[in-house]
Amino acid sequence: MAESSNVMIGGSRSLLPVGGEAEVGPGRRNHTPWLQAVARAGVPELILNCSAVLTHQDLATLASNARLDTLELHGADLRPFAGLMALSGSARLERLVVDTDYWFAGEAHDGPFDPPSAAEGVILALLLACPRLSVGLTFRQDAGRLAEAQDGLQGMLERMQSDLETMGCDPERLWFY
């Protein structure tokens, strides 16, 4: 693949694994088969803009792409969130965007801000483990929850940036996208 090649996958319906709903979960195939093909192709930029449940196996497969430098996860439901640590094994990953829409309670994700309990620790650990990485947090700017989203995410972002600075890391490596 050309050095500037990228792949963007989008859609309004949930992206199910190759084996369908039965293949979601630990120890199952998940999205690994097609993500392995993306890794083998050496895609440097992957933008997932669809509702997909990604497990630690899926994220480890993404990390196996030796040329991946940009990964954007819009609409992805990370199960478990700590699976993001698999990306610390990526050879070239420099930019990660994580959609925080799933960090809101309720079936439609329109309730109170409720990030995964591991979110702050995992993001900080990933930034410490990968000195070249920067992480952007994003959310849909629905008018009904814009103020709460800004307050919740801003508070979380400020705490994590302060922690990064205390640990001797550049706090600007964590930002709103």
Q: Please give the residue that has the higher pLDDT: either 38 or 111.
A: 38
Given a cut of 90, whether residue 176 has pLDDT beyond it is no
Per-residue pLDDT band at 17 (split at 50, 70, 90): low
What domains are there in the chain, each with its CATH number? Answer: 6-13+25-168 (3.80.10)
CB atoms within 10 A of CB 79: 18
The DSSP element (H or E) to which 176 belongs, if any, is: strand 174-176
The DSSP element (H or E) to which 38 belongs, if any, is: helix 32-41
Q: Contact at 8 Å (CB) between 122 and 81?
A: yes
CA-based nearest residue to 104, from 135, 59, 136, 147? 147
163/176 Cα distance (integer angstroms): 16
Per-residue pLDDT band at 97 (split at 50, 70, 90): very high
Given a cut of 50, whether residue 2 has pLDDT beyond it is no
Given a cut of 90, whether residue 129 has pLDDT beyond it is yes
The residue-averaged pLDDT of 64-77 equals 92
